[in-house]
Amino acid sequence: MNHRKIYTRLGDDGSTKLQSGERVSKDFVMIELYGDLDELNSAIGVVLASTIPENARHVLMRIQNELFQVGACIGQPNNCVIDKTHITAMEKDIDTINAKIPPLMQFITPTDSPTAAQCHLARAICRRAERSLVKYHREIPVNKHLLQYMNRLSDLLFVISRYIDHA
């Protein structure tokens, strides 16, 4: 991707262009979903900019790349690469990381460390992105694995947040 000019002025009227070439309002449900996925990826990037355990770093870096694939699945549903293997891998990560931390005995507040709190914020953004995906799915059905992926991702971010606090 080689873009020399950042601005085009084409969106100054509140519209944006889809991959199909169609122009839609910037508050179109698909665009809101893309924005939530972008915000989630950025929030994970903030966590990665901190010192975290290497295994958590590896998982979060993989997730960042997969979030681009999730976005691609929204724009090109017939070419979706997110499948059951992604969910299975995430469940394995959840179980592996969860086994390294004490059992959860009570509700927790995200205040133990700035990095864990940032990861909890990423989890909350993930849940918003999941709600946006469900809203989008009501209008334009998506691959069921996308719904499972986003649901599982908030669980993964939760256990990584706890892991960061206990590392």
- Residue 13 has which token pair? 């009227």
Distance between terminal CA atoms of the chain?
A: 38
Domains of the chain (ranges; CATH) run 23-94+110-166 (1.20.1200.10)
Give residue 5's pLDDT: 81
Contacts of 28 (CB under 8 A, 6+ apart): none
Identity of residue 74: I
Q: d(Cα 99, Cα 124) in Å, to the nearest integer?
A: 23
Closest CA to 145 of 133, 131, 160, 158: 133
pLDDT at 36: 98
pTM above 0.75, yes or no: yes
In tens digits, the chain (167 residues) has pLDDT values of: 566 788 888 888 899 988 888 899 999 999 999 999 999 999 999 999 999 999 999 999 999 999 999 999 998 888 899 999 999 999 999 999 999 999 988 787 776 789 999 999 999 999 999 999 999 999 999 999 999 999 999 999 999 999 999 88
Tell me how many helices (H) and strands (E) the chain has.
5, 2
Tell me which H or E stretch contains 146: helix 144-166
